[in-house]
Structure 1
Amino acid sequence: MAAIRSLPLLAAALAATFTLTAPAMAADAYPSKPIRMIVAYPTGGISDAVARALGEKLSLQMGTSVVVENKAGAGGSIGIDAVAKAAPDGYTLGFASTSPLTLNPHVGRVNYDPQHDLAPVMSVMYSPVLVVATPAFAGKTFQDVIGQARAKPGSVRWATSGLGTVGHVMLEQVKAKSKADVTLIPYKGAGQQMNDALGGQFEVMSTNASPMLTQHMQAGRLRAIAVGAPKRLEALPNVPTFDELGYPKANLTSTFGIFAPGKTPAAIVNKLNAELNKALAEPEVRDRLLRGGEVPTGGTAAQFATAIRAESAENARIVKEAGIRAD
């Protein structure tokens, strides 16, 4: 009789043991099929190049293929939405900046909950945001931009890759501090913005570092006059940061990383994080980032999640104060 009465206790113990070990077992068996990596931006850009480089390394390290798929649009929100709605099994990942989680929800409507529908896996890089003068601007420095805008209100046109982007937030912070009358020219993406910059269709633009931008600056067609970055860039030692210029709130960068669906098991997230850190440390991957003007980061999933929460809170404050809306 005693043995019969103990059966429920034995069953409960076995169930508890299975519950505790199941996630670890799932991580041990992972991956057993190809992994899809959604890049939230078009092909050909630095994000696409870095995602493909990481995918190649993950394929070798994890013994399965990593298929890169581009889903661009809405400042990265379309690609991130696809990740948020995927099965949380580790077989769908996303590569995007943090803006779809920390900025886009504050300036417009998104179809996902950035706090619950996505799991940060690893910070990959930060991309400095450069303010670049075009052939239409006769001045030499960022101070000249402010001087002209004050002397001739509306005469300085500042282009961004879109409403509610990091470059737009940067401009609003500059305007708030300087009280200068600068005209916003929002584009729908960076491609046409770059073409019009070369044609002198506006005086300055804010844009992320990229190999194409570097080529145009080296050829003298465009000139960097300020940068959002923790310190001056090694490749542009004469270009001051916004901190140095007296605009600390405009000293913004774009952070990019890997995301998974929100309910992906922690064991799988941690396994991916370890493999991604290993891939990011490979010399050819780091060199590809550095050549494009990006700065490799890495770190734990928990560190990335903490940074995202802090960035979201700060962006919410900035957007509210500046009255920024994308729709």
Structure 2
Amino acid sequence: MSEITGQQFVVENRSGSGGNVGVDAIAKSPPDGYTIGLGSIASHAIAPTLYASLPFNPAQDFTFISGLWQLPNLLVVNNDLPARSVPELIALLKANPGKYAYGSSGIGTTPHLSGELLKQMVGTNILHVPYRGGAPALLDLLAGRVHLIMDNIPGLLPTAREGRIRALAVTGPQRSAAAPDLPTMSEFLPGFEITSWGAVCSPAGIPEPIVKRHSTFAKQALESPDLVRSFQELGAKSWWTTPAELVAFRASEEARLAPLIRASGARVE
């Protein structure tokens, strides 16, 4: 967008609380069009149910500009696990409730919810082992302390290609360009879908002409061949939406994920 507009964009990273610190800073910025930021499935679809209270309202405190990217998770298993396909894994889990464990990068993350969705749809118990990030979860998968993980493609695919873990499927609605030979989970469990996403948002109350201008800039940027290629190399796809489409999508994602989060028992007070 900086190249398209000829204007300087200063990136200010504000980490903490699963992205909520940065998102709260966006919500509380002046609605003059000079502050835009990153919203995501974590802050705008999962957090409203996961957190007992938030310093911002995901539905009311933002002007939504455009989608940015979508990224499915990758299901991988330890090489010693006697399952070389999703149907074999399902059969193994159903025959041995509570015997196997899945790792995640933390409670309320898409890797956690991917495992919870698997538990619900298969109808068996799988122990959840949360870690502080995907890297330690992967290390324990390699060591055999957990048996499967569903995490973002970039963190797992290189290790799978080395043959150190076994990749079985992706969690998106379509096969991934980064791993086109792998099936989707929904090919075996219809309706199974967990896809991470990011979006461009601003504080609530941005004037409509500025919203339209930012939306146009986002569309031009997301159609850039270099950006499309960069996303594809990470297993993601560029994802432009109109502001209205993003408003509707965010609401549908919160409604879709809320029952899954509640059933998992995950809650941050």
TM-score of the superposed pair, with normalisation by structure 1: 0.76
* Cα deviation digits, residues 21-62 of structure 1 (max 9, x gap): xxxxxxxxxxxxxxxxxxxxxxxxxxxxxxxxxxxxx22222
Quick check: 1:135–1:199 contact (8 Å CA) kept in 2?
no
1:131 aligns with 2:84: no
Contact 2:171 2:185 in 1 (8 A): yes
Q: Deviations over 1:291-321 (max 9, x none)?
A: 1100111121111111111111222233334
1:10 maps to none
Greater relative contact order structure (CA < 8 Å, 6+ sep): 2
Q: Does 1:218 align with 2:187?
A: no
**Which one of the candidate residues 120, 123, 126 is aligned to 1:182?**
126
Tell me, yes or no, if structure 1 residue 208 matches structure 2 residue 152.
yes
Structure 2 counterpart of 1:160, from 104, 109, 123: 104
Report the Cα distance in structure 2 between the residues aligned to 1:156 and 1:92, rounded to whole angstroms.
Answer: 46
Structure 1, unaligned runs of 5 or more:
1-57
- Please state how far the C-alpha of 1:247 moved relative to its aligned partner: 4.5
Q: Which amino acid is the alignment partner of residue 126 of structure 1?
A: Q
| Counterpart in the other structure of 2:61 | 117
Cα RMSD for the two superposed structures: 2.0
Deviations 1:258-310 (A, max 9, x none): 11112222221211110111011111111100111001111211111111111
Q: Percent identity?
A: 28
Query: How far apart are the structure 2 equivalents of 1:270 and 1:193?
Result: 42
Tell me the alpha carbon deviations over residues 137-182 of structure 1, each in whole angstroms, 9 at most, x when there is no partner. 3421223333333333322111111111222222222212222220
Residue 146 of structure 1 aligns with an amino acid whose one-letter code is I
1:144-293 mapped onto 2 (5 Å cutoff): 144-210=88-154, 212-248=155-191, 250-293=192-235
Is the Cα–Cα contact under 8 Å of residues 27 and 61 in structure 2 kept in the other structure?
yes
Cα distance in structure 2, aligned partners of 1:119 and 1:80: 12
- Structure 2 residue matching 1:207: 3-state secondary structure: strand
2:62–2:201 Cα contact (<8 Å) kept: yes
In terms of fraction of residues, the more helix-rich structure is: 1
- Structure 2 residue runs of 5 or longer lacking an equivalent are none
In the alignment, which residue of structure 2 is the partner of 1:79?
22
Q: Secondary structure at the match of 1:257?
A: strand
Task: Indicate conservation of the 8 Å contact 1:160/1:205, yes or no.
Answer: yes
Pairs aligned (count): 268
Q: What SS is found at the alignment partner of 1:72?
A: coil
Secondary structure of the equivalent of 1:103? helix
